[in-house]
């Protein structure tokens, strides 16, 4: 199945984890993918993995910090100049720290908010503008264009000792709805995907704690941790024309945590 033939897709936080798995999935279904993130070596490794099985390279990298407005402006200019079009944006960049509310520093609060919410705002603003420009040039109904924001189970149910992260991800879910309403006249769909506990490099240390892993298994209906590829499957669906009548929605992919 090649749902993304002729599509150009940008994935933030694409060097590892869910971002990398999503880039692989989109590329394997025909998309040209632009991988962005702060660490060049991770992006290069991910792009090499994608391109190594292709006759023609389909993955390019653009190192950038998507919490910095100037970096995002330069990213948008690069895509405009090199590709002249953009069909899909996956806002996946993020990160977390652990602290109680009464012990959280202003620096930690701002850093987590910037990584998880400000990045989505900046990328959506500048790349969303590029997408609307491209859509306006098409005579008939524009080709399917979509933005998918990676939120979290924690945006639905606040997690212990992650007040900044939970607040930011709840913000992502509601920002998604606002953006979906604004971009609907341009035929650009905007949805979010909220993963539960997923095995990624960011969660690796916590999952090595047997007590923590057992608690996840005990409190998840499917009795296991998720895989990055499983989240990528849902992101790909939301980005595809199979979800053509869905916008402003959040897809919860938590293994049944909230129903347990």
Q: List active site positions.
A: 165
**Residue whose entry in the numeric block shows the structure tokens 């095995």:** 199
Q: Structure tokens of 175?
A: 């920002």
d(CA 52, CA 165): 36
Name which of 62, 63, 77 is nearest 127 in CA terms. 77
Q: What is the DSSP string of the chain?
A: --TTTT-EEEEESTTSHHHHHHHHHHHHTT-EEEEEES-HHHHHHHHHHHHTT-SS--EEEEE--TTSHHHHHHHHHHHHHHTS---EEEE---------GGG--HHHHHHHHIIIIIHHHHHHHHHHHHHHHHHHT-SSSPPPEEEEEE--GGGTSPPTT-HHHHHHHHHHHHHHHHHHHHHGGGTEEEEEEEE-SEESTTTHHHHTSHHHHHHHHHHSTT-S-EEHHHHHHHHHHHHSGGGTT--S-EEEESTTTTT-
CA angle 27, 29, 32 (to 5 degrees): 35
Q: Which residue has the tokens 């606040």?
A: 158
For 228, the token pair is 């990055």
């Amino acid at each position: 199945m090649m749902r993304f033939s002729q599509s150009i897709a940008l994935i933030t936080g694409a060097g590892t984890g869910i971002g990398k798995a999503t880039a692989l999935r989109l590329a394997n279904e025909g998309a040209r993918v632009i991988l962005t993130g702060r660490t060049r070596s991770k992006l290069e490794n991910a792009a090499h993995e994608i391109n190594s099985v292709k006759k023609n390279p389909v993955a390019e990298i653009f190192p950038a910090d998507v919490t910095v407005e100037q970096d995002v402006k330069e990213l948008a200019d690069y895509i405009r100049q090199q590709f002249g079009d953009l069909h899909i944006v996956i806002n996946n960049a993020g990160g977390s720290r652990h602290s109680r509310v009464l012990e959280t520093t202003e620096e930690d609060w701002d850093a987590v908010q910037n990584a998880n919410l400000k990045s989505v705002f900046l990328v959506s603003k500048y790349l969303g503008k590029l997408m609307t420009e491209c859509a306006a040039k098409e005579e008939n109904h524009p080709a399917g264009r979509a933005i998918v924001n990676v939120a979290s189970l924690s945006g639905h149910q606040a997690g212990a000792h992650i007040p900044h992260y939970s607040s930011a991800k709840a913000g992502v879910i509601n920002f998604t709805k606002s953006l979906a309403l604004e971009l609907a006249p341009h035929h650009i769909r905007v949805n979010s995907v909220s993963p539960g506990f997923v095995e990624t490099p960011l969660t690796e240390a916590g999952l090595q704690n047997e007590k923590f892993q057992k608690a996840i298994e005990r409190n998840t209906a499917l009795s296991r941790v998720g895989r990055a590829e499983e989240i990528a499957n849902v992101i790909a669906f939301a980005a595809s024309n199979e979800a053509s009548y869905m916008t402003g929605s959040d897809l919860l992919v938590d293994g049944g945590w909230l129903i347990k």
